[in-house]
Structure 1
Amino acid sequence: MSHITPTQGFNIKSVQSQGFKLNVWDIGGQRKIRPYWRNYFENTDVLIYVIDSADRKRFEETGQEMAELLEEEKLAGVPLLILANKQDLLTAAPASEITEGLNLHIIRDRAWQIQACSAVTGEGVQDGMTWACRNITTRKK
């Protein structure tokens, strides 16, 4: 089994999915770099927000951070995909619990989806990418 570490700082990768070439800005969530996030909002087609489903004590903090992101002018109307990661762990909260905890049901100004997934097993990741690509296409029309 390979060891996957959280993003430290910023990584840029190109990913092929659904006939799209996606330029992905993987931006770490450490508190000290959050002020720099806004430097990456220009021309964003979809926001993919990854949550550690097993870290319930941080749900409130991550919910507040996500709510602030959704208020950003440059992200207005941008579709939101929440990847509820680490579903392979027994301690992981199900997507329904995360939806409630983050008050996702009150989001009315954009398309959004929560996708249970595991970066380790890959389960659910492709479903999330399919949703993201479909919403990029819909938004571009």
Structure 2
Amino acid sequence: NFLFILVGLDAAGKTTILYKLKLGEIVTTIPTIGFNVETVEYKNICFTVWDVGGQDKIRPLWRHYFQNTQGLIFVVDSNDRERIQEAAEELQKMLQEDELRDAVLLLFANKQDLPNAMAISEMTDKLGLQSLRNRTWYVQATCATQGTGLYEGLDWLSNELSKR
């Protein structure tokens, strides 16, 4: 049973991703103020996924969910060029947390269906991923509403964690 935390700025698509994985359907979401937690079963693996609200006032609470987390799923709205810098700063802050030092990082580049979505290479660059040391990471292009890329991301996570 793996423990993952699903974080990212508000409106990145975290809750949509969680319920697409859990129920296979699109649920109408409102901004998450606290958290949603679900167990997702996929290929005989149980993932406990915490989806924690992303609004700036509640981001300091993220750290309460870090303990025992094996995988960090950071969701970014690929279409939100205005806030990619803010996303990068939040991500870097999290990666400095001691409790996450062993967590693998899966980045969901979400909303890839939108015409102005940034390419993976541009996002990798803007988020400063190339400079990460001692961190296993992967960027997966996703479209939460269609479910595209989500299971590929989980495949990567479970493969990485089964190596440990």
- Letter in structure 2 aligned against 1:63: A
Q: Is the 8 A contact 1:7 1:27 kept in 2?
A: no
* Equivalence for 1:77: 102
- Give the paired residue count: 139
* Equivalence for 2:9: none
Could you report, residue by residue, the CA deviation over 1:56-108 in whole angstroms, capped at 9, with x for unpaired residues?
A: 11000000000000000000021000000000111111111100111100112
Query: Which 4+ stretches in 1 moved above 4 angstroms?
Result: 1-4
Percent identity between matched residues is: 42
Aligned to 1:127, which of 148, 152, 157? 152
**Are 1:96 and 2:121 an aligned pair?**
yes
Structure 2: runs of 5+ lacking an equivalent: 1-24
Structure 1: runs of 5+ lacking an equivalent: none
Please report the TM-score for the alignment, with normalisation by the length of structure 2: 0.80
SS in 2 for 1:127: helix
Cα displacement (A) at 1:136: 1.6
Please report the TM-score for the alignment, with normalisation by the length of structure 1: 0.93
Provide the rounded CA distance (Å) in 1 between the counterparts of 2:101 and 2:42: 24
Superposition CA RMSD, Å: 1.6
